[in-house]
Amino acid sequence: MWQGITDGLPFVLVILPFGVLFGVLAAEAGLNMFEALSFSIVVIAGAAQFTALQLLGEHVPTLLVLTSALAVNLRMVMYSASLTPHLGAAPLWQRVFIAYFTIDQSYACAVAAYERNPGWSVPQKVTYFFATVAMICPLWYLSTAFGAWLGNGVPDGLALDFAVPITFIAMIGPMLTTGAHRAAALTSVVLSLIFNFLPFNLGLIVAGIGAMIIGAQVELWLERRAPVQAGKGARQ
């Protein structure tokens, strides 16, 4: 539990301004503090919340708002598939809460910790997972409410939006440990820039699918290449 708390604690530094920024933008879009707080509690996904908020501000039809937010959150499907071998044997009531608290930060911490500790039991893995969000999620709710309360009182020069890229760099950077990981990351960057013209952030979905394909192919190529390299080393 303590390891999970300490691993998740650094993300508080970016969750706070991230949540305040969402609350401020929600207030500017016409949401009151209760509505903004409910948004964060129900959706609990910053990228999807910002996407939905932006589209609502542009008076996009509700169906397209929901579809776009869901598309941005499709990465959670990949997160779930990755966590299932570790947490799939947990009781149903625990898996319900695991599903709710599966966010970028908890996933990044959990996957890295499970790889470092292959001998952990399922209860240990579940405890670690919940510990990673023990500080993050409550502070996400509170910072959202605080940002909505501030409203337009935040100076433009404060630039709270710096929290968004820093959060994802902090999560992804340490995990780029293999050629497949780096190929997938590079592919996602290139494709997201190429397809940035697509409406409703659909370019992110294209980039995500392309990155998964390239990453999987590179991993297969490396696995096939490994026995060949091992054979060469043995002959030498």
pLDDT score recorded for residue 228 = 57
Among 74-78, 112-116, 169-173, the range of highest mean pLDDT: 112-116
| Three-class HEC string of 31-82 | CCHHHHHHHHHHHCCHHHHHHHHHHHHCCCCHHHHHHHHHHHCCHHHHHHHH
Q: How far apart are CA 212 and CA 21, in angstroms?
A: 30
pLDDT band, residue 14 (cuts 50/70/90): confident
What percentage of the chain has pLDDT greater than the value 90?
Answer: 39
Residue pair 8/14 in contact (Cβ under 8 Å)? The answer is no
Helix (H, G, I), strand (E, B) or coil at 179: helix
pLDDT at 96: 95
